[in-house]
Chain A
Amino acid sequence: MPRNKGTETMTVTRRTLLAAAGTLAAPALVRAQGSAPIRIGEINSYTAVPAFTLPYRNGWQLAVEQVNAAGGVLGRKIEVVSRDDAGKPQDAIRLAGELVNEQKVDLLSGGFLSNVGLALSDYAKQNKKLFIAGEPLTDALVWSDGHRYCYRLRPSTYMQAAMLVDDAAKLPGTRWVTVAPNYEYGQSAVKWFKLLLAKKRPDVTFIGEQWPALGKIDAGATVAALEAAKPDNIFNVTFGGDLTNFVRAGNTRGLFEKRGVVSVLTGEPEYLEPLGEETPTGWIVTGYPVESVINTTNTAFIAAYKARFKEMPKMGSVVGFALITSIVAGIAKTGAVDTEKMADSFAGASFDTPFGRAMWRKQDHQGTLGTYVGKTAVKDGHGVMVDWRYVDGAGALPTDAEVAKLRQG
């Protein structure tokens, strides 16, 4: 968190005190001149989910540096004031207050966990401040609880399910089972998948479901229970540590053999890498094939990222990067940092992401950033995505009429 860099090692001498006083006074002066940096408040669960948020932080830092090197936006530099919510929505709300009232940020952004995203969105609605959600997947964010001050970048739970349904519908066999963490995300992913698949394949039946508690999967028993149902295909929503355990138990017990598996998010490097050489092959997944995507935007992004952080980007890095470019594009389109104007004018703004061009939808403030759909494979002992294609977010959403209905709650 940049604000704190160096403060701990500073030795206090009269000179540093003077210098400190100078920097403290400076923003107010410059602000008066209208060229102070645009301040973006950012809140995320840095300590609670470091595996995602640390690459994510790298991503937005890279974007901020690039934007500022190119002269900023509206002739002003941008500056991100970042906070750690420790995974607790109640803390996120307090920090939002601090960012808005004390740090005087021009807008809020961030979030990984759905509940933190919703808490921040509700704060934004109540306090009439713009909030740009990066990662939170819950549909509620732009639909049932959507409002004019909230935008969301990533493909939602619905969109993830919808992107997978085309390939899922092509699988032979009609008997499906589902396994999903027992909370809102898992529940809605399963709900949408069942609904959308049934539309394309009226002949399928769902013959069993497993709902392991989040982070506490009893993988052996879960796999045995799924196996006992003798399904043709499996829909998986578990992720992280649960996914690792599930895959290992499933591999040993042969659950995935001769069965189609459709799995949400599993192709993201965050979740694929830990599977290593045990990555099951042929799963239909959403994710990010990183290096194998060769096009101008992604290749340039990877090169810059590697140069800056000496490691490969992950999905979080893309979200962090695109979060900043989407905000900058919105501000540029608005021509001001006035909340009401931005709330109106972000809609329709298009922006560059490592995945290509995307835009903010007018109807529900959902970003059209898509994701990759492909199959899992093992290469040199590492899990990779093959046979992938990019699915634009715009194509994975319900009709405008349906959205309007969902948005009414």
Chain B
Amino acid sequence: MDFVVVQALTGLAGASSLFLVAAGLTVIFGVTRVVNFAHGSLYMLGAYIGWSILTRLPRDPAWFAAGVLLAALATAALGALLEMGLLRRIYRAPELLQLLATFGVVLMVQDAALYLWGPDELTLPRPPWLRGFVAVAGSRFPLFDLVLIGVGPLVLGLLWLLLARTRFGVLLRAATQDREMVAALGVDQTVLFTVVFALGAGLAGLGGVLSLPDGSANLHIDLDVITDAFVVVVVGGMGSLPGAFLAALLIGELQAFGIVLLPKITLVLVFLVMAVVLVFRPHGLLGRPQAVARGAAEALALVRPAVPALRWLGLAVLALALAAPLFAGPYLLSVLTEMLVAVLFAASLHFMMGPGGMASFGHAAWFGIGAYAAALATHALAAPMPAGLLLAPLAAGAAAGLFGWFIVRLSGVYLAMLTLAFAQIVWAVVFQWDAVTGGDNGILGVWPARWAGDPRVYYLLALALCGGAAMLLRRVLYAPFGYALRATRDSPLRAEAIGLHAGRIRLAAFALAGAAAGLAGGVFAYAKGSVFPTYIAVGHSVDALVAVLLGGVQTIAGPVVGALAYTALFDALLTTSFWRFKLGAFIVLLVLFFPAGIAGAAQRLWERGRPA
């Protein structure tokens, strides 16, 4: 019994930390509708700035509190700068593009922090009062954790006062519910948004600096924190502060007791909670369906058959691709093979995300399942390569069909988050289940069959499979099914009213996209000779997302162009110093100046002066 009390208190402290991170994210989302991927980076900056400040201050409680506030304010100021410099310019852009821009910021901040604070973990020396404890039920309970338990509700209370009792709060709530109306009433939204963003950033910074006594400032916390924060916000209901608090409590306590009962499952547990909540409550615990922003029916580009010039260009590229083995060396061929895989991976994501309107943050799950299916077939079943390459799309398609049944019923950010949850579950299982998947060490020796061992042969095989599958997806988009899919995206109401079973169509598209990604994974597995959990990691999903958005989500050629450009860019930057900063800056600039992507921009250029 005593232990239950202590563990429950520990869970409360964890919940408070989670809430601090999530509160800022949900406030920002509620008002600006921006899914701020850089929230974890602000948290990290809060921790680093806090370290720089607190290590220079006297070590008593009053100075500590002052330092914490100062660090939070400094992070808030950085948040305001970020809003004014970047986000303000892209509020009208589609949600995903905003997400992409903030992802670029994440990359930039990583290298900036490395440059400013160095690679080593930075710890704050704890004065005795920070190490203090109280006796609770026969155990020691950290004093600081008690403080944390108080800080969560305190912040919730202050935010509630701010929202309910001030003019600013009234405006904020109005803006949360109806952005256009607030604008129509003549409220200066620019300032409102900047302040909100600064507030959210300040909360992130507060969370970061308050993490110092129990941990350290290091270069990994940004991404660790952001997934937790997303989970809390989504489980609670996006934009809902009490929801975030409730979700933080739920997850904090589940975590604390889950560790005792099922010590190996902790990583999966959090995402399992999110999946279950979203299946039963598609908008989170306390969330409301997102009000459809007026005028959000963005002018969707018509899908027309490629113009002759583009066809010729495509044929020329294909001819060049076919001729590559004649002039390219083994390394270039391996790069080209990877590009082909990237093209199919991006095309499969685009298939569900563009025409299907289902953006995914977890597309790497299907890629990874395909890769592991091929690897396990080779390894455990000693199956020949063609069997592995057949199994890859089948397994991935089946898994996507199964998970998809839960996923396709959601929409927008919730759908994207559920895909992320499933991908994280798959990742965690693969990463931790050493006996079957080889865990972190992966599965080795998945090399091509002898007849395809020559890089030239394997390249041509990859060209046939990946190129062929990408062409097939394209073909499907022009076929009746593709029209039906777009119909469910353009107007679910009308689609249903002309007899289309939107759920089934979306599920079929989801499974097909999954199968195609799985094939890409299978081809990749044999190209690399091994499979690893990194294939399923969030970063890999983001790669596909970046490729699609880089190319342009509204054009059929977009994913192809995007995948080629992104792979080439990544390879070129990787050998330079501070490549993450450069890549991030590139992404940010792209979002700012070419929001329709490369192919989209090219299309506009081409269409300029021609009748629409």
Contacts and interface: CB of A to CB of B under 8 A. Distances in A.
B92 interface: no
Given A4-B575, A118-B441, A241 B534 contact: no
B457 to A, nearest CB: 15
Interface in B252-290: 255-256, 259-260, 263-264, 266-267
A222 B432 contact: no
Interface stretch (A166-174, A248-256, A353-361): A248-256
Given A218-B255, A249-B214, A118 B442 contact: yes
B131 A84 contact: no
Nearest to A120: B530
B444 A122 contact: yes
Contacts of B144: 252
A135 to B, nearest CB: 15
Nearest to B13: A220
Contacts of A119: 442, 444, 528-530, 532
Contact of B431 (A88, A183, A248): A183
A182 B530 contact: no
A115 B531 CA distance: 10
A248 B130 CA distance: 10
B335 interface: yes
A138 to B, nearest CB: 6
B121 A51 contact: yes
A207 to B, nearest CB: 13
B264 A211 contact: yes
B490 interface: no
B529 A97 contact: no
Nearest to B111: A47
B7 A102 contact: no
Interface string B119-159: 11111011000011100000111101100000000000000
A121 B441 CA distance: 12
B211 to A, nearest CB: 9
A395 interface: no
Interface in A215-250: 215-216, 218-222, 224-225, 227-228, 240-241, 244-245, 248-249
A90 B530 CA distance: 8
Given A97-B334, A102-B331, A126-B447, A245 B214 contact: yes
B123 A90 contact: no
Residue of B13, B123, B335 with most partner-chain A CB within 10 A: B123
Interface stretch (A66-74, A270-278, A292-300, A343-351): A270-278
A241 B216 contact: yes
A216 B215 CA distance: 11
A84 B577 CA distance: 9
B3 interface: yes
Interface in B392-451: 428, 431-432, 434, 438-442, 444-445, 447
B131 A252 contact: yes
Given A84-B574, A218-B255, A253-B140, A212 B532 contact: no
A331 interface: no
A50 interface: yes
B7 A224 contact: yes
Contacts of B314: none
Given A4-B577, A89-B534, A224-B7, A212 B266 contact: yes
Contacts of B440: 114-115, 183-185
Contact of A51 (B120, B140, B334, B530): B120
B330 interface: yes
A102 B140 contact: no
A177 to B, nearest CB: 11
Contacts of A89: 442, 528, 530, 532, 534
A305 B236 CA distance: 53
A273 B120 contact: yes
Contact of B10 (A3, A221, A277): A221
A407 to B, nearest CB: 15
A225 B7 contact: yes
Contacts of B432: 182-183, 211, 213
Nearest to B228: A216
Nearest to B133: A252
B535 interface: yes
In which size bucket is the chain A interface? 35 or more
B444 A228 contact: no
A140 B579 CA distance: 32
A50 B119 contact: yes
Contacts of B574: 83-84, 86, 91, 95
B441 A90 contact: no
B329 A93 contact: no
A54 B219 CA distance: 14
Contact of B441 (A84, A114, A210, A273): A114
Contact of A94 (B7, B329, B338, B439): B338
A274 B123 contact: yes
Given A138-B441, A219-B214, A252-B131, A187 B434 contact: yes
B145 A220 contact: yes
B267 A182 contact: yes
Contacts of A32: none
A8 B576 CA distance: 9
B10 A274 contact: no
A98 interface: yes
A50 B114 contact: yes
A244 B121 contact: yes
Contacts of B7: 221, 224-225, 228
Given A89-B442, A90-B535, A182-B432, A222 B259 contact: yes
B371 to A, nearest CB: 10
Interface in B1-27: 3, 6-7, 10-11, 13-14
Contacts of A241: 121, 215-216, 218, 220-221
B496 interface: no
23 contacts: A47-B114, A47-B579, A51-B120, A51-B218, A90-B528, A90-B534, A94-B571, A102-B329, A115-B532, A123-B529, A126-B529, A145-B444, A182-B267, A183-B432, A213-B267, A218-B266, A240-B218, A241-B121, A244-B123, A252-B132, A253-B139, A254-B140, A275-B123
Given A90-B535, A119-B529, 17 more contacts: A1-B577, A4-B576, A47-B579, A98-B331, A119-B442, A184-B434, A184-B441, A212-B266, A221-B7, A221-B11, A228-B7, A241-B121, A241-B221, A253-B141, A253-B142, A276-B125, A278-B125
Interface of B: 3, 6-7, 10-11, 13-14, 110-111, 114, 119-123, 125-126, 131-133, 139-142, 144-145, 213-216, 218-221, 224, 255-256, 259-260, 263-264, 266-267, 329-331, 334-335, 338, 428, 431-432, 434, 438-442, 444-445, 447, 524, 528-530, 532-535, 539, 571, 574-577, 579-580
